[in-house]
Amino acid sequence: MAKTKGYPEALETKLRDRYMYGDDSHPEFTDSVEKISMSIPHMCYQCGTCTASCPSAPRSSYRIRKFVRRVVLGLENEALTDPDLWLCTTCYSCTDRCPRDIAPTDVIMAMRNLAFKRDIIPVNFLKTVQAIYTTGHGVPNNDVNRAARVKLGMDADPPTTHTYKEFIPGIQKILDYYKLKANADRIVKEREG
Amino acid sequence: MEAKHKYAFYLGCIAPNRYPGSEAAAIKTSRKLGIELVPLKGASCCPAPGAFGSIDLNVWYAMAARNLVLAEQMKMDIALLCNGCYKSIWEVNHKLKHHDELRDGVNEVLKTIDMEYKGSINVYHLAELMYDDKIVGPAKIRDSVTNPLTGARIAVHYGCHLIKPRKDREFEKTEILNTENPTWMEELVAALGATPVEYRQKMMCCGAGGGVRGYDIVHALDIANEKLINLKEANVDALTDICPFCQLQFDRGQIEIKEKFGVEYNLPVLHFCELLGLAQGMSPQDLALDLHGISCEPFLQKVL
């Protein structure tokens, strides 16, 4: 939260100081992340092995160590509103190498779950949900591929929900149980009209 | 001949719907090695661990559990051919077996569709079964080869989600637990008569996972591009993978890299099952290699 530094007001509104204040911190955020991730970010001693192992770090401002620190300090807004949260490829190199036995990848996933509750989510994730709701597949079949399958002597559609469509209502029930399709539709519509 | 080992064959999305040759190859090559792959009828997307795991892990657990229950009803272990699917199907199975609270939560949802997760089956990646000499093993693969891929320099992309995070994984063969510098896939490549080639940053991610390919394609391609630069330095004829999503990223990704970065590699990318198919005498037509974004021709001329 910005605090005054005594500059002229026109400048004050543009600046933010670098301090962390007590009311920036939300300990319940730390608890939620630990619960969802089933991991122990509070054990982090900030060695940076995670960032050093990260394929996204050399080509962006994404720093997994920084995100873990934000979790420990309860800096919910800072973490969940940072667009870099979505640059983790979930390669699990950091998790493999963490000397404190933390799973930083799962910590990121937990934060993404919490961001989604605030409608913070890139639309491509939601489009996968919509595709699965309709077809059962995140990457559904298409005509070129159907023709190729037939040429291979296979059925045009694989023996999945594509062939056995009677399973699709069950999938829809699961997604509706969590209101996932309704939320996906609502957010995609807000973004794309 | 009755196959010695039977598995419910979980297909996922990208193999059957983008690279059907790898599905065909998996079924045919496995049969020659004593494995029968039985269709897992009504299976859905695993669901995509990056997309669903990011949105709501509870949905990911429940959706993966539905696929597991289908195999439980067949009383068969699952075999699959995709690292991403392995993460969802194996890992959710593992988590539900060990966390009562999670399992109860999932079963509450599954009850609404008259299903119950029991935890009665195991999940395997075909690559691990191919390497396990109690099931197949490199020696048996070597014996099945009728068209050795002699002279071809082939690099391996292991991908991430089969072997990482290591601390959760359980493999019969402890070699697979080596996530820093594994060589078990190279042994399988050598069993086909090809020359396995090492390259810099072999264990780096393809860049597609975690929803990044959809969120920021240039970022995702930049990661793949770094690997392609290293592969070019190693002068390889082809790259092999055990994950159709990595394959999509490297194969179709090369076309996108050409458009966005202006560099061209023309490196053929083949799933290990496709390679095995070629080595067992399947033709490029049997494998629908023409569906690949990058032509496999130069590689095929070398090995056929």
B208 interfacial to chain A (CB closer than 8 Å):
yes
**pLDDT band for position A2 (cuts 50, 70, 90):** low
Question: Does A174 sit within 8 Å of B112, measured CB to CB?
Answer: yes
Given A68, A98, A116, the domain boundary residue is A116
Tell if the CB–CB gap between B44 and A59 is shorter than 8 Å: no
Q: Are residues A136 and A166 in the same domain?
A: yes
Per the structure, the complete domain to which residue A43 belongs is given by 9-116
Asked if B3 reaches chain A (Cβ–Cβ under 8 Å), the answer is no
Which of B47, B215, B290 lies at the smallest CB-CB distance from A122? B215
B40 touching A, CB under 8 A? yes
Across the interface, whether the CB atoms of B161 and A159 are under 8 A apart is answered no
Q: Which of A38, A96, A149 sits opposite B166 (nearest CB)?
A: A96
> B20, A149 in Cβ contact below 8 A?
yes
What is the DSSP track for A123-147?
HHHHHHHHHHHHHS-SS---HHHHH
* Cβ-based contacts of A87 with chain B (< 8 Å): 212, 215-216, 219
Considering only CB atoms, B17 lies closest to which of A113, A126, A145, namely: A145
Chain centroid to Cα B188, Å, comes to: 14
| Cβ–Cβ below 8 Å for B47 and A103 | no
Residue from the list B17, B215, B223 with its beta carbon closest to the beta carbon of A55? B223
Going edge to edge, which strands form the sheet with B123-125? B35-39, B5-10, B78-80, B123-125
Beta carbons of A124 and B209 less than 8 Å apart:
no
> Could you give the CA distance from residue A130 to residue A137 in angstroms, rounded to a whole number?
9
CB atoms A55 and B42 under 8 Å: no
Residue pairs spanning A and B at CB distance below 8 A: 213
Distance (Å) from the C-alpha of residue A25 to the closest C-alpha of chain B? 23
pLDDT for position B104: 98
CA B194 to chain centre: 20
> Over the stretch A78-115, which tens digit does the pLDDT of each residue have?
999 999 999 999 999 999 999 999 999 999 999 999 99
pLDDT of A128-169, one tens digit each? 999 999 999 999 999 999 999 999 999 999 999 999 999 999
CATH code, A103: 1.10.1060
Cα separation, B101 vs A27, whole angstroms: 24
Query: What is the tally of structural domains in chain A?
Result: 2
Question: What distance in Å separates residue B220's CA from the closest CA in chain A?
Answer: 8
Closest-CA residue of A relative to B9 is A159
Residue type, B63: M
Q: Answer yes or no: do A96 and A45 share one domain.
A: yes
Kindly list the residues from chain B whose CB atom is less than 8 angstroms away from the CB atom of residue A180: 55-56, 59
The answer on A94 and A38 residing in a single domain is: yes
Dihedral of alpha carbons B161, B164, B167, B173, sign: positive
Rounded Cα gap, residues B250 and B262, in angstroms? 15
Clarify whether residues A111 and A26 are in a common domain: yes
CA closest to B177 among chain A residues? A96
Residue A177, in any domain of the structure: yes
**Chosen domain end from A88, A116, A144:** A116
Supply the pLDDT for residue A74: 98
Judged against a pLDDT cut of 50, whether residue A4 lies above it is answered with yes
Higher pLDDT, A25 or A4: A25
Range list for CATH 1.20.1050.140 in chain B: 5-125
Q: Are residues A108 and A35 in the same domain?
A: yes
B45·A136 Cβ contact <8 A: yes
| Amino acid in the structure at residue B116 | E
Would residue A64 be called left, alpha or beta, if left means φ above 0 and alpha means ψ between -120 and 50 degrees? alpha
Tokens of B266: 């023309």
A103 and A160 assigned to the same domain = no
Confirm if B182 and B227 have CB atoms less than 8 A apart. no
Q: Which residues contact B161 (CB under 8 A, 6 or more apart)?
A: A90, A92, B49, B83, B84, B86, B87, B209, B243
The CATH number given to B5-125 is: 1.20.1050.140
Q: How many H helices and E strands in chain B?
A: 14, 8
Average pLDDT along chain B, 304 residues, taken 10 residues at a time: 85 98 98 98 97 97 98 98 98 98 98 98 98 97 98 98 96 96 98 98 98 97 98 98 98 98 98 98 97 98 94
Q: Are residues A42 and A62 in the same domain?
A: yes
Asked if B49 has any chain A CB less than 8 Å from its own CB, the reply is yes
**Shortest distance, CA B286 to any CA of chain A (angstroms):** 6
Kindly tell me if the per-residue pLDDT of A34 is higher than 80: yes
Using the beta-carbon criterion (under 8 Å), do A92 and B223 form an inter-chain contact? no
Q: What pLDDT does A63 receive?
A: 98
Question: Residues near B21 by Cβ (< 8 Å), separated by ≥ 6?
Answer: A148, A152, B274, B277, B286, B287, B288, B289, B291
Token pair for A90: 């979930």
Q: Is pLDDT of A186 > 80?
A: yes
Q: Are A82 and A137 found together in one domain? A: no
Site of tokens 């829809």: A172
**CB distance B42–A121 less than 8 Å?**
no
Q: Which of residues 258-277 of B touch A (CB under 8 A)?
A: none
Tell me if A62 sits within 8 A of A103, measured CB to CB: no
Helices (H), B116-271: 126-131, 138-144, 184-191, 212-215, 217-233, 244-261
A187 and A165 together in one domain: yes
- pTM equals 0.96
CATH classification code of B141-303: 3.40.50.11810
In this predicted structure, what is the pLDDT of residue A164? 98
Strand partners, B157: B241
Q: B287 CB contacts (<8 Å, ≥6 apart)?
A: B21, B22, B24, B25, B274, B277, B278
Q: How far apart are CA B253 and CA B297, in angstroms?
A: 18
- Nearest-angstrom CA–CA distance, B37 and B55: 32
Whether A96 and B58 lie within 8 Å, measured CB to CB: no
pLDDT greater than 50 at residue A1: no
Choose the final residue of a domain: A92, A116, A140.
A116
Measure A37 CA to nearest chain B CA, in Å. 9
- Of all residues in chain B, the one with the smallest CA distance to A134 is B44
Same domain, A71 and A133: no
Q: Most B CBs within 10 Å: which of A100, A127, A160, as the mutation test of the B interface?
A: A160
Whole-number Å distance between alpha carbons of A92 and A82: 20
DSSP codes joined into one string, chain A: -----S--HHHHTT---S---GGG--HHHHHHHHHHHTS-GGG-----HHHHH-SSGGGSS--HHHHHHHHHHT-HHHHHT-GGGGG-----HHHHH-TT---HHHHHHHHHHHHHTTT---HHHHHHHHHHHHHS-SS---HHHHHHHHHTTS-SS-TBTTT-GGGHHHHHHHHHHTTHHHHHHHHHHHHH-
Chain B, nearest residue to A146 by Cα: B17
Residues A75 and A102 in one domain: yes
Question: How is residue B3 annotated by DSSP?
Answer: -
The reply to whether A94 falls in a domain is yes
Identify whether A3 is part of a domain.
no
Best B18, B56, B230, B289 member to test A by mutation, with max A CBs in 10 Å, is B56
Q: State the smallest CA–CA distance between residue B154 and chain A in angstroms.
A: 23
Examine the pLDDT at A18 and tell me if it is beyond 80: no
Q: Single out the residue of B260, B4, B10 nearest to residue B122, CA to CA.
A: B10
